[in-house]
Amino acid sequence: MSEKATFAAGCFWGVEDTFLTLPGVVSTRVGYTGGRTEHPTYQEVCAHDSGHAEAVEVTYDPATLPYQKLLNVFWECHDPTQLNRQGPDIGDQYRSAIFYHSEEQRLLAQEARDRLELSGRLRRRIVTQIVPAAVFWEAEAYHQKYHQKHGGGCGF
């Protein structure tokens, strides 16, 4: 039986590309979540009026791919110490966030964050939000599997 995990870690194109290649991932889709606007468009999200983050919803097989492995990939795929930016992308839609779907995911995410914080590997404090999953609004079709269609990859 598959489960869902939702992550925001900057531009959703590269983040999706990173998760899509993992054995045990059933599917991915990019979209918007964590805000207040219903049925947001890319333009609304980029205008900073919606409150949404660009995010990736990962459907995975936990028997093959444990949630902890997804968390490890999340922490490595971006800089969780940057507030509202990743690389050249700036804005609240590029914030770092874990949208948990269960109490177990919340606990595992908090434990992973705390371990990374205490490890000394990062020079600044982690600003990643760990918040309940909200409605996930699928992004426009041209955003789905963008790097597979156009080339590119996660730049971090």
The string over 31-54, giving b where at least 16 C-beta atoms fall within 10 Å of a residue's C-beta and e elsewhere, is bbbbbeeeebeeebbeeeebbbbb
Check if the beta carbon of residue 18 is closer than 8 Å to that of residue 5: no
User: Is 154 annotated as catalytic?
Assistant: no
97 three-state secondary structure = strand
The residues annotated as belonging to the active site are 11
